[in-house]
Structure 1
Amino acid sequence: MNRTPTSRRRFLGLVSGLGLTAAAGGVLGGCARGGQDASEVVVSFNDLSQPFFVAMRRELEDEAGKLGVKVQVLDAQNNSSKQIADLEAAAVQGAKVVIVAPTDSKALATAADELAEQGVAVISVDRNIVGAKSPVPHVGADNVAGGRAMADWVVKTYPAGARVVVITNDPGSSSSIERVKGVHEGLAAGGANFKIVAEQTANSKRDQALTVTQNVLTSMHDTPPDVILCLNDDMAMGALEAVRAAGFSPDKIKVLGFDAIPEALARIKAGEMVASVEQNPGKQIRTALREAVAKIKTGAAPKSVSLTPVLITSANLAEASRISEVK
């Protein structure tokens, strides 16, 4: 169903109020800045302060240049209301395809439905959109498998059992929900001796993970955990700092992360961190952009593409997509 004139005026006012031009994130692909030309492809990232999405944006810029396509980038700043408003405004501005990494997988369902009603194709990347009337095509890693890979490492490394702390990322995001599911399934398969002794969110933030880990280690000083599983690498950096500050060696409390960012890879190389799950952000966003361009040029419906995550350790560092960035 198309929007009424009143509804369209409301959204045009929203565009003006939000200032949703190139300044909201930038127009890529060699086009003029300043918002004079509408972008047919809009990409909304949930939070461009996170290293994973910074890398994904860089890969997007490169692919947009190769394809010769103009792309507008928006940063939701981890705010679902802002992301929904951004997407509604993008539709008014004439976007034909929206690629979105949702702040909250369920919160964006209605917005996805409304965009579809206006003929705007939606593709989710990294995180699914859950609850839309029609399934939203998704490009991303299998996060359940990624979480299970972390748990499988624990079970293999500690055959007699282990005390495990899980630090989760953004509540409500499909990536967090699915990674937690994989961790729980993998540890449960190992048996009753694999115990999650603490599970808390740090909202994907390094400083929050530092505080969470400090509090956990203080409360468990006499019986510290064997392993800390962090569901993104920025949080793993915070956990490592807390472990070191508490006087524990990397062998005493082992830290695993998720995303295989260069800083984590460097820590693995140095023996300070044991592993991180590679989910190839570059391949995710490049694939999503190619699907978007195909939709615009040929009308082909975007397809879902699932990537297989890989647990990166010191034994297979060369397989990490960003290993060339490690000094």
Structure 2
Amino acid sequence: MTRQLPSRRRFFGLAAGFGVSAGLLGACSRGGAGASEIVVSFNDLSQPFFVAMRRELEDEATKLGVKVQVLDAQNNSSKQIADLEAAAVQGAKVVIVAPTDSKALATAADELTKQGVAVISVDRNIAGAKTPVPHIGADNVAGGRAMADWVVKTYPGGARVVVITNDPGSSSSIERVKGVHEGLAAGGAGFKIVTEQTANSKRDQALTVTQNVLTSMHDTPPDVILCLNDDMAMGALEAVRAAGFPSNRIKVLGFDAIPEALARIKAGEMVASVEQNPGQQIRTALRQAVDKIKTGAAPKSVSLTPVLITSANLAEASRIAEVK
């Protein structure tokens, strides 16, 4: 059954119930389009990756002279859907969204499209919508495969690998896992995933997951821990260090190339992270949103090529200047 958008009165009540207020809707810039014409919904602004993406958004909004409203879904699909519905009633013309769950927002995206609101996804795509949603993001399958390729190259005789996944149901998690599996399978039977668990993109959860893994595998520890975001990699590094393993005995790789991860790579504590350039993603999405409002130009999908950042190419990282 197609979900109907609630009435205007019910809409605002629903939005209020989910905390869509001036406190959560932050104007990022000045002048230009009206404050509610462009709305950006991040799935979870407690994650460093999306904090960095928001910072890039604010800078681009200032350069373009437009106002943008920012919403934090707090990793809750129901809240994100209600937030976006409320944004449409309040007059949004374009919605940029990093979805909490790739499939959960399909119906909401279709309803927004019916109302004439353009929808653009960033970082994570929206799957299953009747009207395809243009997506701007990195090729996450390629990113996962780059992590696996590093393992295969570094351990030609085979390796025991732990995979710690990010948000279940998100396209980024599904696609990165696919890339990791494909890359390790291509390396041959010597490459074994000894356990694969989610830590929901959280540092503290990754710490706990890694502690449990290292306790259960103390006599035969993994060679590599692949964390599908950098915040989880920070937790894994802490667990490895606390467990007392020799330096570099267990290699930790992350994904996102946040400044803290780049600093850890520079210090030799972490071996690699996948750069997917959140700045280019959100800046491109915002430019397309502004073009849509000004000229009617339909937004288009853009696929970025991720790069595995190691100590060998650290100087090429797009945010290297932020490494202390």
Give the TM-score normalised by structure 2.
0.96
3-state DSSP of counterpart to 2:260: helix
Alignment check: 8 A CA contact 1:168 1:199 kept: yes
Residues 244, 21 of structure 1: alpha-carbon distance in 2 compared, 3 angstrom cutoff: same
Moved more, 248-257 or 146-155: 248-257
Alignment check: 8 A CA contact 1:250 1:273 kept: no
Give the Å deviation of 1:124. Answer: 0.2
Give the Å deviation of 1:39. Answer: 1.6
Q: What residue is the counterpart of 1:284 in the other structure?
A: 281
| Structure 2 residue identity aligned to 1:61 | E
Instruction: Specify every segment of 5 or more residues in structure 1 that has no aligned partner in the other structure, as ranges.
Output: 32-36
3-state DSSP of counterpart to 2:321: helix
* Alignment counterpart, residue 65 of structure 1, candidates 48, 62, 66: 62
* Percent identical: 88
Distance 2:239 2:19 in 1: 40
Give the Å deviation of 1:17. Answer: 4.1
1:240 matched to 2:231: no
Alignment check: 8 A CA contact 1:104 1:174 kept: yes
1:7 matched to 2:12: no
* Alignment counterpart, residue 74 of structure 1, candidates 28, 53, 71: 71
**Aligned residue pair count:** 322
Instruction: Write the deviation string for residues 27-56 of structure 1: whole angstroms up to 9, x where unpaired.
Output: 11126xxxxx64200000000000000000
| Structure 1 residue identity aligned to 2:288 | E
Instruction: Write the deviation string for residues 266-292 of structure 1: whole angstroms up to 9, x where unpaired.
Output: 111111110000000100000000011
* Alignment counterpart, residue 99 of structure 1, candidates 90, 96, 101: 96
Alignment check: 8 A CA contact 1:22 1:72 kept: no
Residues 109, 220 of structure 1: alpha-carbon distance in 2 compared, 3 angstrom cutoff: same
Distance 2:247 2:165 in 1: 21
Instruction: Write the deviation string for residues 248-303 of structure 1: whole angstroms up to 9, x where unpaired.
Output: 13421000000001111111111111000000010000000001111111101100
* Alignment counterpart, residue 179 of structure 2, candidates 168, 182, 188: 182
Q: What residue is the counterpart of 1:121 in the other structure?
A: 118
Distance 2:311 2:296 in 1: 44
Distance 1:19 1:164 in 2: 41
Superposed, 1:1-327 pairs within 5 Å as: 7-18=7-18, 20-30=20-30, 38-327=35-324
Alignment check: 8 A CA contact 1:250 1:271 kept: no
Distance 1:229 1:255 in 2: 6
Distance 2:265 2:220 in 1: 25
Instruction: Specify every segment of 5 or more residues in structure 2 that has no aligned partner in the other structure, as ranges.
Output: none
The Cα RMSD (Å) is 1.7
